[in-house]
Amino acid sequence: MNGKDKTELEVMICAYGADGLRRIACNAHPQLPGVRYLVSWQPAGADISAIPAEIVTRPDFVVHITDSKGLSRNRNNALEHATAPLLLISDDDVSYTADGLKAVLAFFSGNPECDVATFRYESAGAPKWFPVNSFDLRKPAKGYFVTSFEIALRRSILQRTGVRFNERFGINSEFIAGEEDIFIHQLLKNGARGYYVPTVICRHDGDTTCDRMGREDTFIRVKGAVFTLTHPLTWPLRMLAHAYRERHRFPGGVVAYCRAWLSGARDARDLRLFK
């Protein structure tokens, strides 16, 4: 970032294919001083010259094209091109208001010790449960889990720690989800200070990966892999607790749930993901 660049916050939008860019063009992205939208785009065979005019003509938009595959690789491409002090992770189907973006800027301005924060989003679909009060991310509220586009952070913590998204996790990867959990875990493990902030910053009306696949074997496999990393001493007890809680909603009950979980834990270790 050169000395004349006044950008304070970059909204890092990951897009896939032509439809991804069309969704960005149709969404609400307010023009706000100090805010830039950084689009990391995987064309997936789309015409790279056909970027919608709604994006091309905006001076606060920049598009970086990558021929990589997988959402985490796309996010890492965005991180590599980021230059602003503050970064906000986003997707092509997320919309913002000026007030939501200002809330992110205000929080980090008022909390200089914070390296990473997770916020709230609103949705017309099935509502996600959010805690009412703020808390340290090292001691999360029971039942809380993070979604990628709730995460904002200082670029300096990435420069200091070298943490990036684990590219074996996320859509179009070996494990279809869980990349945000591992990302936050690695940041905190490397000394980042993080907080949950009960402030709505964006809107997402579609289903998340958890909404679509939360009761399928493939998703429970992801949980087995993620919990083996993030809770290496207590994951067996957590597995049993999750299996008992989900026994009436998961096909096959407790035994099938644990079998899927253990499959993820085993595969993750075999892939040497956790070194």
The pLDDT, as a whole number, for residue 205 is 86
Stretch 248-268: mean pLDDT: 88
pLDDT in tens, 144-181: 999 999 999 999 999 999 999 999 999 999 899 999 99
* Cα distances (Å, whole numbers) of residue 87 to 60, 199, 217: 15, 17, 33
Which residues make beta-bridge pairs with 86?
A: 9, 154
Pick the range with the lowest mean pLDDT from 45-49, 216-220, 241-245, 268-272: 268-272
Q: At what angle do helices 253-270 and 235-245 cross, to 10 degrees?
A: 150
Stretch 4-32: mean pLDDT: 93
The pLDDT, as a whole number, for residue 272 is 60
Indicate the burial class of 122 (C-beta count within 10 angstroms; 0-12, 13-18, 19 or more): middle
Q: What is the DSSP letter of 169?
A: B
Output helix, strand, coil percentages for the chain, rounded to the nearest 5: 40, 20, 40
Query: Cα separation of 53 and 72, whole Å?
Result: 27
Q: What is the dihedral of CA 68, 123, 94, 69, to 10 degrees?
A: 0
Is 18's pLDDT higher than 80? yes
pTM of the model: 0.91
For residue 209, name the pLDDT band (cuts at 50, 70, 90): low
Stretch 248-257: mean pLDDT: 85
Is 115's pLDDT higher than 80? yes
From the list 115, 105, 274, the residue with the least C-alpha distance to 199 is: 105
* β-strands 86-91, 95-96 pairing: unpaired
The one-letter amino acid at 2 = N
The pair phi, psi for residue 124, each rounded to 5°, is: -85, -10
Q: What is the DSSP letter of 253?
A: H
For residue 3, name the pLDDT band (cuts at 50, 70, 90): very low
Stretch 6-14: mean pLDDT: 97
The pLDDT, as a whole number, for residue 220 is 92
